[in-house]
Amino acid sequence: MSIAVRNLVKNYGDHPAINDISFDVKTGEILGFLGPNGAGKTTTMKILTCYMPPTSGSVEVDGMDISDKSLDVRRKIGYLPELNPLYLDMNVLDYLEYSAQLHGMRGQTVQRRLKEMVEVCGLGDVRHKDIGELSKGYRQRVGLAQAMIHDPELLILDEPTSGLDPNQIVEIRNLMKHLGTAKTVILSTHILSEVQATCQRVLIINEGKIVADGSPEQLQRDFQGAETITVEFKSGSVNPLEDIAPKIRSVPYVNAVSLLSHTDGISSFEVHVEKGHDVRESLFRIAVSEGWVMLEMHRRATTLEEVFHKLTTS
Amino acid sequence: MSGFSNVGPIYRRELRSYFNSPVAYVVIIVFLAIIGWFFSNNLFLINVASMRVVFDLVPLVFLFFIPAITMRLLAEEKKSGTLELLTTRPVRDVEIVLGKFLACWTLLAAALAPTLIYLITLLALGSPDIGPVIAGYLGLLLMGGVYIAIGLFASSLTENQIIAFIVGFLIVLALYLADKVLMYVPQSLASILEFLAIDYHFSSIARGVIDSRNIIYFASVLGFALTLATVSLQRRKW
């Protein structure tokens, strides 16, 4: 199940919601769409699921164009829309059965899949309840269950963990990872830790354009600015700014040193290092040769949050 | 594969949703009560045992009732977002429209069925001419079908059920009134209006004369309204 998106444009009136987006997704990949609200994540998903056509550009799913093979494409896709719409007056099993039937399943197959989905999504206790009576977490599971009921090759999940509590988020994440081995998954979120926890690849979208594409680690590396190291020494020195700081400053690639705190002969510094260099070993050796005891050393890398912030604010 | 295999599941869900809520029961009971009132008035006060009153009255009741039971069909799903999910499944829009139409039509038949008890009363009391009665019921079903198709179209226009009700009501009212305003329009227009008027075709069937002209009228208006509803559902793609 591969996806090829080419030069996708969608205008709402005069306002472009997405503006010339192109990307590919390979089989088995878990792709995260990241972007601020209104960036075009949901619009892109609505086009992929054949809910609405693009203004221009094309999408091929498994080599089939979504505009002329719409029904065949839809057969392969499981979709969880943004607000997880459900029929509140139906009970869980009836709703899942209905979903299965609309995917062309009949008879024994339906019953078998229902059983599997109730198991996988942990719906056993609520399977006879009306969906309207369920908590948000259970509703989300029902939403996932209906998306997976026909064992789709491609899952498109729009903010699958929104509104859930931290425990539920972990459960849903595990569920997705569990699935992700055989299926292609596209999910959108604005929770960055989620992307780090589940996705092999991230697309950051801002104002309708792709501004970054890569694995979370790769993005962090690419957008790594000057590095900061926090280091704490026990030296017995009374005046660390004169005794210690200049020595640290003399280490190659160190751009600046500032004293954070100094109490009882324990001083901690913030060391700014030139991009792409690691000075931790040199710092350690200096400490040894000067007879300082190193109590703490910590390198703060650029987080995905910072990458995101940098790319989506201008 | 472009069959109609998804009509069944959609039909069953829709019908169950009517009968899981008070809607179906309210419709059935109120229907039975209104018609029963006028039927028994005729029977006891004027001493006329006739189904005539049923066929005069029900078209008026339909004017309000049918837009009320059709208004939610698509508008509700639009509003709650379930329509988005439904239309991203491998289901054609025409299957959605047909499934919902048939479910609503079944509800209408279920609401009409208990009124047959009045017919049984008549049969016990005398020997009414059964032909026009059967034709009348057929006419009611056809007329109701047309109203439902129109109501479904109105429901496809908006996500607001009140607007769907009002639009549906105005369209069926216009169809109903078309032959009641003949004296105000020029001669040339009168015959067109008369042919468009739903009551004209209904009365002709209810008299016991099932003319192909009337059947063609009902079938084409019904088909036209369902087509409009399907096209309107596809508006999201424009």
Residue contact A89–B17, C-beta within 8 A: yes
Contacts of A148 in chain B (CB under 8 A): none
Which residue segments constitute the domains of chain A, with CATH numbers given? 3-222 (3.40.50.300), 227-307 (3.30.70.3100)
Total domains in the fold of chain B: 1
What per-residue confidence (pLDDT) applies to A311? 79
Q: Which of A101, A146, A155 to mutate to test the interface with B (most CBs of B within 10 A)?
A: A101
Alpha carbon distances (Å) from A19 to A8, A14, A39, A140, B236 = 7, 12, 10, 31, 20
Q: How many angstroms separate the CA atoms of A164 and A172, rounded?
A: 9
The pLDDT value recorded for residue B208 is: 82
Q: What is the pLDDT of residue B238?
A: 63
Q: How far apart (Å, rounded) are the C-alpha atoms in residues B11 and B104?
A: 9
User: Residue B93's closest CA among B219, B7, B222?
Assistant: B7
Predicted confidence (pLDDT) at residue B152 exceeds the cutoff of 90: yes
- On the question of pLDDT at B10 being above 60, the answer is yes
Residue A126: per-residue pLDDT: 92
Residue B99 in this model has a pLDDT that exceeds 90:
yes
10 Å CB burial of residue A47 (0-12, 13-18, 19+) is buried
Flag residues of chain A having pLDDT under 50: none
What is the extent of the structural domain holding B119? 7-237
B49/A89: higher pLDDT = A89
Give the model's pLDDT for residue B1. 47
Q: Classify each residue of A113-145 as buried b or exposed e, where b means 16 or more C-beta atoms within 10 Å of its C-beta.
A: bbeebbeebebeebbeebbeebeebbbbbbbbb
Average pLDDT, chain B: 89
pTM for the complete prediction?
Answer: 0.84
**What pLDDT, on the 0 to 100 scale, is given for residue B185?**
81
d(CA B231, CA B94) in angstroms, rounded, equals: 9
B10 lies within 8 A of chain A by CB? yes
**Residue A196 C-alpha, separation from nearest chain B C-alpha, in angstroms:** 28
Q: Look at residue B1 and tell me if it is in a domain.
A: no
Residues of A with CB under 8 A from a CB of B: 46, 49-53, 71-72, 74-75, 77, 79, 81, 83, 85-90, 94, 98-99, 101-104, 146
Q: What is the b/e burial string over A176-186, where b = at least 16 CB atoms within 10 angstroms of the residue's CB?
A: beebbeebbbb
CA of B238, closest CA in chain A: separation in Å? 8
pLDDT at A180: 59
Is B2 inside any structural domain? no
Amino acid A189: pLDDT: 83
Beta strands in A123-226, from DSSP E residues, in sequence order: 154-158, 184-189, 201-206, 209-214
pLDDT at B118: 84
